[in-house]
Amino acid sequence: MLEFIKMFGLGIVYTILSPVFLVVFALFAIYSLFNYLACEAINLGGFFLGRKFDEKTSLDKQYLKMKKEEEKTEEIKETIEEKVEKGGDLDA
């Protein structure tokens, strides 16, 4: 009997809350559609005005800087490994 009451109560809760979930989902869908259309309009306007789309952002520049530093570190590491293998002096 307790299981039936529990299931019945959950059914009532779902029935009451389902319209709320549908409204939230509908608002999210409308927002997403508006956001998509706005971004398309901005990019289309930028295209016809001749704006370049391949410009590097600050995040791209930071990534390239980090990648160059990593490459330098790898070169130094390889140089040290070669010197160690040859048994040479690391200070030179």
Please write the tens of the pLDDT for every residue from 53-64. 777 888 999 999
Domains of the chain, residue spans: 1-54, 56-92
Tokens encoding 86: 């040859």
- Reported pTM: 0.50
What is residue 67's predicted lDDT score, i.e. its pLDDT? 96
Q: Which of 9-13, 43-47, 68-72 has the highest mean pLDDT?
A: 68-72
Rounded CA-CA distance 44/53 in Å is: 11
Alpha helices in 1-92 (DSSP H): 2-48, 58-86
What is residue 69's predicted lDDT score, i.e. its pLDDT? 95
Predicted confidence (pLDDT) per residue in 26-69, tens digit = 999 999 999 999 999 999 998 899 888 777 888 999 999 999 99
